[in-house]
Amino acid sequence: MGLISDKEAAQFHELGYFVTEPMWGDAELGEVSREFDRLHAEAIVAAEKGGDANAIRLAKLRPFIGQAHTKSDALKRFVKSDIYVEACAKFIGPDADLYYNQVVIKPPEEGMSFAWHQDSGYAQTRPLEYLTCWTAISRTFVDNGCIWVLPKSHKLGLIEHRRDEKIQSMVPVKYDESTAIPVEMKPGQVAVFSSLTMHKSGPNISKEVRKGYVPQYHVPQVIRTDTGKPWGDLFPVLRGGKPVPRE
């Protein structure tokens, strides 16, 4: 397909990430954005029914809506977009599954930050490393909570993480953020990075919502090491080097 250049692939291996050009037009991004609004509203209603004050707060100010492909036909098609399939072929191999996917939203002026972490710090798998495709559905910049990365941090391997109950996140026990850089993106750009690349996102102090979609990809039937059982979305996207057709 030729969407990922040799230079970008080399940067992925050297720095642990690269950023694509915009990959979708306004119509496709608009459809996804409207689905985000619907799913966010449903998540708030569900949290309010549960009655837990902290869950309601997180649903409103730091929503993470997982397995979104099972809740939206549009997102079920979107996770098989050409850029994702090509990234799988280059960095995973001829066979790949959707491992996890989530809608992430930061509301204007109050969206919460998210701490430094490696995605692999949440659940260890065999093999360990997989692919994260952080996709800007709206424009993302420092003041509305764009992601930051630590270049070359993927070369450190898996860093020990601990659970911080106050922020309900896994955080590394030790890291140096002196080389951190912000990744500001236009709508439709994708930050492709290793699950071992350290990253975070800041708070939204702007008047613009920040919408991101984060599909992640792994080898088929990946095994979670602590259970020895298949783990993740287990949704095929690539087989024998050919894309699995969209439904």
- List the chain domain ranges: 16-238
pLDDT band at 1 (very low <50, low <70, confident <90, very high): low
At residue 75, the pLDDT reads 98
Please indicate whether residue 161 or residue 194 has the higher confidence score (pLDDT).
194
Average confidence (pLDDT) over 180-199: 98
pLDDT tens, position by position, 54-110 = 889 888 887 899 999 999 999 999 999 999 999 999 999 999 999 999 999 999 998
Dist. CA 202–CA 211, nearest whole Å = 13
At residue 166, the pLDDT reads 61
Dist. CA 127–CA 137, nearest whole Å = 30
Q: For residues 128, 203, 185 and 80, what is the CA-based torsion angle, rounded to 10 degrees? A: 50
CB 198 within 8 A of CB 15: no
Residue with tokens 């898996």, as numbered in its chain? 158
At residue 167, the pLDDT reads 59
16: tokens are 């642990």
Please indicate whether residue 110 or residue 135 has the higher confidence score (pLDDT).
135
DSSP state of 196: T
Q: Which CATH superfamily is domain 16-238 in?
A: q2cbj1_9rhob like domain (2.60.120.620)
At residue 165, the pLDDT reads 65
pLDDT band at 197 (very low <50, low <70, confident <90, very high): very high
204: tokens are 């939204």
Q: Are strands 223-224 and 229-230 parallel, antiparallel or unpaired?
A: antiparallel
Does the pLDDT of residue 112 top 90, yes or no?
no
At residue 168, the pLDDT reads 62
Average confidence (pLDDT) over 208-218: 98
